[in-house]
Amino acid sequence: MLSRAVMGGAAGLAAVATLLLLLGWSPGTTADPQVPCYFIFGDSLVDNGNNNNMASLAVANYPPYGIDFDGGPNGRFTNGLTTVDVIAQLLGFDDFIPPYISTRGQALLSGANFASAAAGIREETGRQLGGRIPFNGQLQNYQSAVEEMVSLLGDQDSAANYLSKCIFSVGMGSNDYLNNYFMPAFYSTGQQYSPEQFADDLIQRYSEQLRTLYNYGARKVVLIGVGQVGCSPNELAQHSPDGVTCVEEINSAIRIFNAKLIRLVDQINTLDGAHFVYIDGYGIFEDIINNAGSYGLSVTNRGCCGVGRNNGQITCLPYQAPCANRDEYLFFDAFHPTSAANVIIGRRSYRAESPSDAYPMDISSLAQV
C-alpha cells in the first residue's frame, strides 16, 4: 500500500515510516483489497474534492490544506490524510478512493467518494456557505453510479451481488448541529425543536435515506457517530469561558442523536442481509482529548492554523503558514482534525481498540461478513 503523506526532511521520513507501520504496511507487501469497492458519504471530514469547483465557502483546494499530501491541495480539509483514506489503506486498496466528481465508468467498480463539505441530513443545512451536496443529493449521485455499474456488470442481479460485498461508510449529522441547530442567526430549528425533538427529526430523515441506500444495494454499511463538536476550536472560541472547557450544551445534544443512531442500527439490521455498524466517533474523540499525550498530541484546543481565539474563528486562510509541529495538534483548523488525529480515528474505526469503539462489530470484521 502506498501512503501519500509527505512531511519532508529526516523527521518527516520517520513520521511517514511510523504512519505506514501503524497502517499495517511493511516493505514488499501487496494484497488484494478485502472488499471489491468502498463508497463514502459525508461532509467536510471526508470530502476529497467534490466541492472544489462549486460557488461555495466550503472548499479546501488551496494551501495550507494538503501541505503534507503528495500533490498538495486537493479538497481535503486537513494537512494530509482523512479518516476514510486511512480506512481505505487498511482495507487493502492501493490508492485512495477518488471523488465522484472525477470518477466514471470502470473506475466506479472500486468505489467513489460522494462526500460534500457543509452537507447535512437536512436539505437546508449549510446553505449560508453556498454550494454543497446534501445527503439526499449524494444519494442521487450514487443512484446514477449504480445505473452505470449495472451497465458495466451486465444486469441488476450482477450489480446487486457485487455491491453486497462492498463497504459503505456514512458520516452525517455534524453540520446539522454546527451549521443549523446551533446557528440561530441563520436557522430557526433551535427555537422550533428541543434537542430531543431535533434528534428525532434527524433520525427519521436519516432512516429514510439509509433505507434508500439499502434499496440500491448497500448491505455492509458503516455509520459514523457525530463527534464532539462542542470541543472544536470554533465552538471553544465562541462559547467556552476559558477556551479549553468543551461546550456541554452542544455535546449533550449530540449524545442524544448518537444514542438514537445506535438504536437505528438495530432497526435496519432487521432488513434482509443488512449489516449496519456504528462507530463511536464521539467516544474515540473524547478518549483522544483525555489522553492526548499517549497519542503524541500536545495541543487539543487550538487549530494548527486559523484566525482569532483558539485559531477558531474561521478555516485556514489561503497560503497562511500553519504550525510547524502539525503531528502534535488534534485540530488542523477551526473544525477539522489533523492527519495525525485522523490516523488514530481511522485505525480505531477499522479495528476497535475499546469495546465501545464499534457496534456490533468493527470495519475489519464487517469486511469479512
Which CATH number is 360's domain given? 3.40.50.1110
pTM summary value: 0.91
Q: What is residue 351's DSSP assignment? A: S
State whether residue 170 is helix, strand or coil: strand
- CA distances in angstroms from 337 to 187, 224, 297, listed in the order given: 26, 15, 12
Residue 332 amino acid letter: F
**How many residues in the chain?**
369
Mean pLDDT across 15-31: 47
- The C-alpha angle with vertex 175 and arms to 321 and 336, in degrees rounded to 5, equals 25
For the chain, what is the domain count?
1
- Measure CA of the first residue to CA of the last residue in the chain; give whole Å: 23
For the ranges 6-10, 90-94, 256-260, 351-355, which has the lowest average pLDDT? 6-10
> Residue 179 carries which side chain, given as an amino acid letter?
N
Q: Mean pLDDT across the stretch 221-237?
A: 97
Which amino acids are annotated catalytic?
44, 333, 336
pLDDT digits (tens, 9 = 90+) for 147-187: 999 999 999 999 999 999 999 999 999 999 999 999 999 99
* Closest C-alpha to 100, from 148, 33, 151: 148
- Least confidently predicted of 18-27, 49-58, 196-205, 341-350: 18-27
In a domain, 1, yes or no: no
* Residues 278-328: tens digit of each pLDDT: 999 999 999 999 999 999 999 999 999 999 999 988 899 999 999 999 999
Q: What is the C-alpha to C-alpha distance for residues 50 and 314, in angstroms, rounded to an integer?
A: 21
pLDDT band at 266 (very low <50, low <70, confident <90, very high): very high
> In the prediction, which pLDDT does 102 show?
96
3-class SS of residue 33? coil
Angle at 98 between CA 273 and CA 350, to 5 degrees: 50
Instruction: Please determine, for residue 96, whether its predicted confidence score (pLDDT) is greater than 50.
Output: yes
Does residue 322 fall inside a structural domain?
yes
Q: Is residue 111 part of a domain?
A: yes
Are the CB atoms for 349 and 342 separated by under 8 Å?
Answer: no
Q: In this structure, is residue 4 part of a structural domain?
A: no
Per-residue confidence (pLDDT) for residue 28, from 0 to 100: 37
Cα–Cα distance between 93 and 367 in angstroms, integer? 13
Q: Phi, psi at residue 169, to the nearest 5°?
A: -125, 140
Q: DSSP secondary structure string, 52-90? A: TTSSBS----STTTTTTBTTS-SS-SSSS--HHHHHHHH
Domain for residue 3, yes or no? no
HEC assignment per residue over 182-218: CCCCCCCHHHHCCHHHHHHHHHHHHHHHHHHHHHCCC
Domain residues for the domain of 163 are 9-368
Q: Check residue 313 and give its pLDDT.
A: 84
Mean pLDDT of the chain: 92
